[in-house]
Structure 1
């Protein structure tokens, strides 16, 4: 019996080694001196149409271009520092999507929204503003049922009707500590939909693949370091879901950290075909504040049911 005590102690130490890199203590909170990739926006507060040669304004243009709001016929305008009509129009669209008064001026409320950590999936995809409110019909040929805030990818990308069971695997470099919260995220979608999911080994073929990556990782959607884009996923039937390895990942509502499960629920929504939602409480809203946790919202459930007609 005496042999059991060292065994239990070693087992406990092993478990803690696996968990600590993900579930940070208060001493491991982010270095507040490390600037967010979006912090440059604060220096541009107050800018408006007519400003010429405003230092750094081209960075704002690239931000809005990255998330689908700004596209010039002459792409050289992306690199100048002039606040032109196109930039004002793009900023107004962003403000409407994020429930800010559409003044076209980079005011404090807009800066607060734009500097929040967010999903890397664009809000406007192939010219379609996925966050714009739209009329949703309850049944074809019937009167309008409600105004939908959920959205889909272009052409309503989705899994074929016969594909209701999806397998997922983790890339070999994935910290063990994330497996449980991601498993939980899949189960939450399973409980609200007709989809079922199962976890398979990292060396097996699967419908979905999950991993941690830094900066440029070969999918034409590079991450930008801590505090900017925190994760992204691809529309069906691509199946890729990537966390930014540079974020301060935690389990639960930890001050200064980003909850693994909340982000997983959001990105799984993309894997199933949902775009971003205009409802701040919805899991498919694009941004998440440090220390925040969220769960599925009725808007998310309505969206997936509308997409698959069930």
Structure 2
């Protein structure tokens, strides 16, 4: 999140924002059909395919706003964008491609568009002109041969972290959300995944005002300058330490059982997967360009991804050190992409091959710009 928004966020969150009751479903079959978008928006994005500098294509102005939202175009740039594919857009596309380990052509090719339309974290990839992603660097932190030596993790500018005196962090949920025990325990598991590999521990408290980490579900503009956009699009965002604000989009169809074997509705989002990612931000991690990492910015709907990858572990241990019970040669958590293990197919690839692009999230985002 943008550092200059911290104080306004606190003031507006506490005094002017009305939280909502989020949509939670124990499994994907319980999502009402009325909440599942039934639309194909390939035609709207087909016009962008192959676009490059020098062209003029309807809709590029809104795409520039998308890139500005996530830091690829300077926030001080004029918001009176045109539909011209100019040097500003080409530079943004190239940097986006570098961050996501794509071929840096500056052209809106298939792979680039496939990434853009995925649901994602609302935290920007570039903050105040500094990329919070890393497309690959030699790691000087881990010398253990069982962990790869190319790191992709990153930190917020200035590398903020919780003070060393804080060995235990408390977290609490906005009372107005009235979360069930099942949902609260899901967050407990998400916190535990980080505490198993690092020195900090986490405890739930009923005192929301006094908690180190404050978790809430909101809809639309909720006072921190980063409005949510409805189903898919941006799923959540969190501020760097020590602010501890953790926001999720209450309009999503949040699934709590993590089972995507039998079906994968376009709008179903695994809550624990997103929670684990946002907790990484709360602790001080930025986005990673390692596709297997929890801190990778995007996740397909109908996908479960909750286990820390080596890249996540190296990053968090650089900030806080290792849990004394953590064995690097035999990790407590075995990093893996659960979307392959539980049978959920890659939605984007599947729909692309049928001429249907998972563009609902981006389109909704563009509509509110």
After TM superposition, the score normalised by the length of structure 2 is 0.72
Quote the Cα distance in structure 2 between the aligned partners of 1:62 and 1:232.
18
Q: Deviation per CA, 1:173-227: give whole Å up to 9, x if none.
A: 3232421111110111111111111001154511000011011001111001111
Quote the Cα distance in structure 2 between the aligned partners of 1:51 and 1:19.
42
Which one of the candidate residues 234, 239, 243 is aligned to 2:239?
234
Q: 1:217 to 1:42 in 2, by over 3 A?
A: farther
Aligned equivalent of 2:101: 99
Quote the Cα distance in structure 2 between the aligned partners of 1:292 and 1:162.
37
Which one of the candidate residues 272, 275, 285 is aligned to 2:296?
285
1:51 equivalent to 2:58? Answer no
Relative contact order (alpha carbons < 8 A, sep ≥ 6): 1 or 2 greater? 2
Aligned 1:247-286 pairs, distance under 5 A = 247-251=252-256, 252-254=258-260, 255-256=264-265, 257-286=268-297
- What CA RMSD, in Å, does the superposition of the two structures yield over aligned residues? 2.5
Q: 1:245 to 1:73 in 2, by over 3 A?
A: closer
Structure 1 residue 149: deviation in Å?
0.4
3-state secondary structure, aligned to 1:154: coil
Q: 1:253 to 1:98 in 2, by over 3 A?
A: farther
Aligned equivalent of 1:159: 162
Q: Deviation per CA, 1:19-65: give whole Å up to 9, x if none.
A: 994324425265232578x995454222111013x211111101111
Conserved? CA contact 1:119–1:287, under 8 Å: yes
Which one of the candidate residues 192, 206, 210 is aligned to 1:205?
210
Conserved? CA contact 2:23–2:252, under 8 Å: no
Quote the Cα distance in structure 1 between the aligned partners of 2:315 and 2:82.
39
Count of paired positions = 285
1:61 equivalent to 2:64? Answer yes
3-state secondary structure, aligned to 2:54: coil
Quote the Cα distance in structure 2 between the aligned partners of 1:247 and 1:278.
25
1:299 equivalent to 2:311? Answer yes
1:32 equivalent to 2:37? Answer yes
List, as ranges, runs of 4+ consecutive aligned residues in structure 1 with deviation greater than 6 Å.
Answer: none
Q: 1:20 to 1:119 in 2, by over 3 A?
A: closer
Find the structure with the greater CA-based Rg.
Answer: 1
Aligned equivalent of 2:26: 23
3-state secondary structure, aligned to 2:235: strand
Where structure 1 has 5 or more consecutive residues not aligned to the other structure, the ranges are 1-17, 140-144
1:192 equivalent to 2:203? Answer no
Structure 1 residue 116: deviation in Å?
0.2
Q: Deviation per CA, 1:229-258: give whole Å up to 9, x if none.
A: 001111001101111011110020332311
Quote the Cα distance in structure 1 between the aligned partners of 2:62 and 2:297.
20
Aligned equivalent of 1:13: none
Q: 1:192 to 1:80 in 2, by over 3 A?
A: same
